[in-house]
Amino acid sequence: MEYEIVIGMEIHVELGTQTKIFCACPTEFGAEENTHTCPVCLGMPGVLPVLNEKVVEYATRTGLALNCEIAHYSKMDRKNYFYPDLPKAYQTSQFDLPICTGGVVEIDVDGVTKEIGITRIHIEEDAGKLLHESSEGTLVDVNRCGVPLVEIVTEPDMRSAEEAKIFAEKVRNILEYTGVSDCKMQEGSMRFDVNLSMREKGSLVLGTRTEMKNLNSFRALVRAVHYESKRQILELKKGHRIIQETRKWDDTKGTSSALRSKEEAHDYRYFPEPDLVPIIIEEDYIAKIKANLPELPEAKKRRYIKEYKLPEYDAGVLTATGILATFFEDAVAVYNEPKQISNWLMVEIPPLLKEKELAMENISITPVQLVELLKLVKNNTISGTSGKEVLKVMFDTGKNPGDIVKEQGLAQMSDTVELEAIIEKIVAANPKSVEDIGSGSDKAYGFLTGQVMKATKGQANPQVANEIIRAVVAKHLG
């Protein structure tokens, strides 16, 4: 029997507000343990939470960017469970009336466009962090408790690990553009839960699913999907039934294990949060946020193709992150050579970033500096090969390309008199090549060009050199 994977996702995204969702404590990552707390987020008795207005704004923005309906009326609820990362013993979340419903995200899978449905987006508070460092107990850090989250819930519309990854990347890209979150996976700003089930290919009935929690990288997401789908197929082939359960992915071991069985422990006893009043969102509020939405990746990509005449592939790569797109736009604003800029951004920069383990946001060169370099290449002051060398030095030192070219004497030799003298010598020293050319073999031109480049340490302008070589050889052949 051929199986088909059915995947739905829940994506938790920390919103980039200054303060927590219900109190004025900062949300900043990486502070000393338990220094970003107050009676509200510590869950002291008698305190009153007050909703952060920015959370409503960012959630609305998220919903609009993912093509959702924004609820006119929504409310907060309590989700009850006991776990020490939650001082109140309940999480303030949204149950039956979430802030956004019914969206859609388009993804490209092997050139085919596919729609992934968004069931809902709700707002809630993050939990604290458990540190298992103490030998005889567990340590709790409450700093993250109350950091605002949106939880994006999808329809079971994905059919492979690849689709899940493309979808997750797309959502990250869109959220980064809209500025609602920094989406830093390594800091846990974005976490994926995967609901996965298997069914006979072509069947319309969903199989029993398992839920894999807290995958915090795209790589972990893909590996976890592969692992879990294989595990389920194996179970089904043995004639076992899949148990609906929550599983925990261990990225180091590359395996998952059952965390708790949902059948027995899935009663959260949601009830309306009496301490928080309903959220009413009016049409004009939505219209205002809609009007201020930045250009989203898809629209930007189309504009790049149209306005800059870039190939679709280039436009896709450049708009894959907001930071890269901004860099490109800043560069093209001062230098109208979009394709040249695109080539260098796509081909030359990524390996340098990778070598230094840097992300685009920490790049040490400015768009203006890159443009200066590209101009030097374009007007043949330096060769493309030297340009790559200069770029490397720019990465290391932050120096301007003009200065590097001067310091290292990389300027191309376009001075024909000087070049002619060198070429004359080389041609004279290689009579065999001249003979080959005479008998119709053009291959020898390549050899001679190589010799010239070697003699000039790559500083000869290849086009100029070629012309001179042909002239000199012609002269020798009489």
Partner 1 sequence: MSLTREDVTYVANLARLEFSDDEVTALADQLGAVLDYAQTLSELDTKEVKATEHVLQLKNVFREDVVKPCLTNEQALANAPDSEAGCFKVPRVME
Which residues form the interface with partner 1 (CB under 8 A)? 17-19, 24-26, 32-39, 42, 50-54, 56, 73, 75, 80, 82-84, 97, 130-134, 136-142, 248, 267, 269, 272, 274, 276-280
CB of 140 to partner 1, least distance (A): 4
Q: What is the dihedral of CA 406, 411, 417, 421, to 10 degrees?
A: 100
Q: Which two tokens stand for residue 28?
A: 């900043």
- Phi, psi at 473, each rounded to 5°: -60, -45
- Nearer to partner 1 among residue 34 and residue 160 (C-beta): 34
- Nearer to partner 1 among residue 138 and residue 203 (C-beta): 138
Single-letter code of the amino acid located at 420: E
Instruction: Note whether 41 and 22 are within 8 A (CB).
Output: yes
Kindly report the number of other CB atoms within 10 A of residue 364's CB atom: 14
CB of 132 to partner 1, least distance (A): 7
- Phi, psi at 467, each rounded to 5°: -60, -45
Exposure string over 376-403, b if 16+ CB within 10 A, otherwise e: bbeeebbbeebbbbbbebbbeeeebbee
CB of 462 to partner 1, least distance (A): 58
- Nearer to partner 1 among residue 73 and residue 313 (C-beta): 73
- Nearer to partner 1 among residue 38 and residue 286 (C-beta): 38
CB of 269 to partner 1, least distance (A): 7
CB of 135 to partner 1, least distance (A): 9
- Nearer to partner 1 among residue 132 and residue 443 (C-beta): 132
- Nearer to partner 1 among residue 149 and residue 452 (C-beta): 149
281 Cβ contact partners less than 8 Å away, ≥ 6 residues apart:
56, 60, 70, 71, 72, 73, 74, 99
- Nearer to partner 1 among residue 36 and residue 301 (C-beta): 36
Cα distances from 388 to residues 351, 381, 395, 451, 452, in angstroms, run: 11, 13, 11, 21, 20
- Nearer to partner 1 among residue 52 and residue 119 (C-beta): 52
Kindly report the number of other CB atoms within 10 A of residue 124's CB atom: 20
Instruction: Tell me how far the alpha carbon of residue 166 is from its chain's centroid.
Output: 10
Handedness of CA 270, 272, 273, 276 (dihedral sign): positive
Rounded Cα gap, residues 222 and 254, in angstroms: 11
- The helix-helix angle for 462-476 and 416-429 (nearest 10°) equals 50
Rounded Cα gap, residues 146 and 247, in angstroms: 25
- Nearer to partner 1 among residue 136 and residue 357 (C-beta): 136
Rounded Cα gap, residues 12 and 151, in angstroms: 5
Rounded Cα gap, residues 84 and 88, in angstroms: 9
CB of 218 to partner 1, least distance (A): 25
CB of 26 to partner 1, least distance (A): 5
CB of 224 to partner 1, least distance (A): 17
- Nearer to partner 1 among residue 54 and residue 392 (C-beta): 54
Single-letter code of the amino acid located at 330: D
CB of 280 to partner 1, least distance (A): 5
CB of 219 to partner 1, least distance (A): 22
CB of 20 to partner 1, least distance (A): 9
CB of 193 to partner 1, least distance (A): 17
Rounded Cα gap, residues 37 and 157, in angstroms: 40
- Nearer to partner 1 among residue 258 and residue 477 (C-beta): 258
| DSSP 8-class letter at 99 | S
User: Is residue 312 left, alpha or beta, with left meaning phi > 0 and alpha meaning psi from -120 to 50?
Assistant: alpha
- Nearer to partner 1 among residue 46 and residue 274 (C-beta): 274
Q: Greatest CA span in the chain, whole angstroms?
A: 103
Question: Residue 66, exposed/middle/buried by CB under 10 A (0-12, 13-18, 19+)?
Answer: buried
Q: Which two tokens stand for residue 165?
A: 């990854």
